[in-house]
């Protein structure tokens, strides 16, 4: 395909505008993606770190409380009458602990802070863990006392020679812990939730029961911290999952569209600017290109007229100081040269005719 100078000039102007702007847009877009991804990761990760630190500190506080009281002589005595004042004191000092109790090796209550009849807790994991040698037993359960979700923390009661003779446990309402976790908000769609080592919900803004199959929980495995991107009810979600010291999983998540909205907006603005630049250059070239190509077309027509012998044509572009002016002056000199050559050619012709010798016999006439 052949193009004239006008479309070539137009394409050149568009190219020298679009290529640099496109390169700048791409570099800026990649930089924005990297920066925003790090920013999203840092924000979600920081929220997860903060919530996990709170959970660890919350559990550690109650673990120290248990260990201190489990070593008291009154508790070690495994005497109901001697244990009662200690258990009641624990419940009074910590209002969210609705039950402090001791269990014998068989799992039956020895003492209770609420003075109710003894119950059998032998089937509870926290009791089995503490009696089996774990430093602490823990479990999220439906309380036999209140019928509501509760977190149970238990410490072994041991004699001076290390023999385990029972368990001291505290049952806590998880409302306070749940409120703290569910108060975490990330934008309009982001939130945090906490599940135990079996996926049972400890704290969640909406869900109760089990979240063991939740993509962020299921993808954790044995890793201490992990970023997960998944689809939930048709929406992409970016999440950070992190293990607590108790083996629980704390998840902070946010809708992908909201998290990356600043990037989409920046990208859209960059594309609008690029399109506006192309339109501007197109308009500018449509105005400038004819002004640049018109003198060339004029000089082309003049050169064509000169080649046909029309030497009276005027060349207006000779006064220009640019390359077109130089071309015009060259054509003007060419016209002058052609004019001189034609005059010389015409004069030589007349001389030849005038000096032509008469024909033999005198009868011939000049032609």
Number of domains in the chain: 3
- How many residues appear in the chain? 367
Instruction: Name the strand (E) or helix (H) holding 188.
Output: none
Point out the domain boundary residue: 173, 202, 227: 173
What does the alpha-carbon distance between residue 167 and residue 148 come to, in Å, rounded to a whole number? 22
Point out the domain boundary residue: 173, 201, 219: 173
* Any domain includes 317: yes
More confident residue, 149 or 184: 184
Whether 21 shows a pLDDT value over 90: the answer reads no
Whether 305 shows a pLDDT value over 50: the answer reads yes
Q: What is the pLDDT of residues 201-224, one digit of tens each?
A: 888 888 888 899 999 999 987 888
* Any domain includes 305: yes
* Any domain includes 105: yes
Query: Mean pLDDT, the chain, as a whole number?
Result: 84
CATH number at residue 221: 3.30.450.20
Concatenated DSSP letters of 32-88: HHHHHHHHHHHHHHHHHHHHHHHHHHHHHHHHHHHHHHHTSHHHHTT-HHHHHHHHH
Which pLDDT score, from 0 to 100, does residue 268 have? 82
Q: What is the pLDDT of residues 176-201, one digit of tens each?
A: 788 889 899 888 999 999 998 888 88
* Any domain includes 366: no
| Residues spanned by the domain of 227 | 17-54+178-262
Which pLDDT score, from 0 to 100, does residue 357 have? 45
User: How far, rounded to the nearest angstrom, does the alpha carbon of residue 148 sit from its chain's CA centroid?
Assistant: 40
Task: Choose among 66, 220, 39: nearest CA to 138.
Answer: 66
- Take residue 255 and report the two structure tokens written for it: 């809708």
Distances (CA, A) of 285 to 5, 20, 320, 354: 12, 17, 21, 61
Q: Please indicate, yes or no, whether residues 196 and 241 belong to a single structural domain of this protein.
A: yes
User: How far, rounded to the nearest angstrom, does the alpha carbon of residue 26 sit from its chain's CA centroid?
Assistant: 16
With bands split at pLDDT 50, 70 and 90, how would you rate the model's confidence at 99?
A: very high
Which pLDDT score, from 0 to 100, does residue 348 have? 53
What does the alpha-carbon distance between residue 30 and residue 37 come to, in Å, rounded to a whole number? 10
Q: What is the pLDDT of residues 235-283, one digit of tens each?
A: 999 999 999 988 899 999 999 888 888 777 877 877 887 788 778 877 8
What does the alpha-carbon distance between residue 79 and residue 104 come to, in Å, rounded to a whole number? 10
User: Is 299:317 a contact under the CB 8 Å cutoff?
Assistant: yes
Distances (CA, A) of 194 to 61, 153, 203, 285: 18, 17, 5, 62
Q: Please indicate, yes or no, whether residues 314 and 168 belong to a single structural domain of this protein.
A: no
Judged on CB neighbours under 10 Å (0-12, 13-18, 19+), 324 is middle
* Any domain includes 60: no
Q: Please indicate, yes or no, whether residues 158 and 82 belong to a single structural domain of this protein.
A: yes
* Any domain includes 284: yes
Which pLDDT score, from 0 to 100, does residue 5 have? 67
Which pLDDT score, from 0 to 100, does residue 3 have? 64
Which pLDDT score, from 0 to 100, does residue 249 have? 93
Q: Please indicate, yes or no, whether residues 167 and 211 belong to a single structural domain of this protein.
A: no
Q: Please indicate, yes or no, whether residues 167 and 199 belong to a single structural domain of this protein.
A: no
Q: What is the pLDDT of residues 34-49, one digit of tens each?
A: 887 788 888 888 988 9
Point out the domain boundary residue: 214, 246, 262: 262
Q: Please indicate, yes or no, whether residues 116 and 165 belong to a single structural domain of this protein.
A: yes
Instruction: Work out the average pLDDT over 165-185.
Output: 88
Q: Please indicate, yes or no, whether residues 158 and 191 belong to a single structural domain of this protein.
A: no
């Amino acid at each position: 395909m052949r193009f004239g100078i006008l479309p070539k000039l137009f394409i050149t102007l568009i190219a020298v505008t679009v290529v640099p702007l496109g390169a700048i847009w791409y570099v800026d877009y990649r930089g924005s993606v990297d920066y925003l991804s790090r920013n999203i990761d840092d924000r979600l990760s920081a929220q997860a770190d903060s919530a996990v630190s709170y959970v660890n500190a919350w559990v550690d506080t109650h673990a120290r409380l248990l260990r201190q009281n489990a070593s008291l002589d009154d508790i070690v005595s495994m005497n109901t009458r001697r244990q009662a004042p200690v258990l009641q004191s624990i419940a009074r000092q910590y209002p969210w602990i609705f039950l402090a109790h001791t269990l014998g090796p068989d799992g039956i209550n020895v003492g209770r802070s609420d003075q109710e009849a003894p119950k059998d807790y032998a089937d509870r994991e926290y009791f089995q863990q503490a009696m089996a040698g774990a430093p602490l037993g823990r479990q999220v359960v439906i309380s036999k006392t209140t019928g509501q979700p509760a977190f149970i923390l238990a410490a072994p009661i041991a004699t001076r020679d290390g023999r385990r003779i029972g368990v001291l446990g505290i049952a806590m309402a998880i409302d306070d812990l749940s409120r703290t976790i569910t108060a975490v908000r990330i934008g309009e769609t982001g939130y945090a939730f906490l599940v135990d080592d079996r996926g049972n919900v400890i704290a969640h803004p909406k869900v109760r029961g089990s979240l063991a199959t939740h993509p962020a929980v299921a993808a954790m495995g044995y890793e201490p911290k992990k970023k997960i991107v998944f689809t939930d009810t048709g929406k992409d979600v970016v999440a950070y999952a992190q293990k607590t010291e108790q083996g629980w999983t704390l998840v902070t998540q946010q809708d992908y569209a909201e998290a990356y909205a600043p990037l989409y907006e920046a990208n859209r603005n960059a594309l609008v600017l690029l399109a506006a630049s192309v339109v501007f250059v197109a308009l500018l070239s449509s105005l400038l290109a004819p002004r640049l190509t018109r003198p060339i077309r004029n000089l082309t027509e003049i050169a064509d007229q000169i080649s046909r012998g029309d030497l009276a044509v005027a060349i207006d572009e000779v006064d220009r100081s640019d390359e077109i002016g130089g071309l015009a002056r060259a054509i003007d000199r060419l016209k002058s040269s052609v004019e001189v050559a034609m005059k010389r050619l015409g004069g030589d012709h007349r001389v030849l005719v005038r000096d032509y010798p008469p024909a033999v016999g005198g009868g011939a006439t000049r032609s």
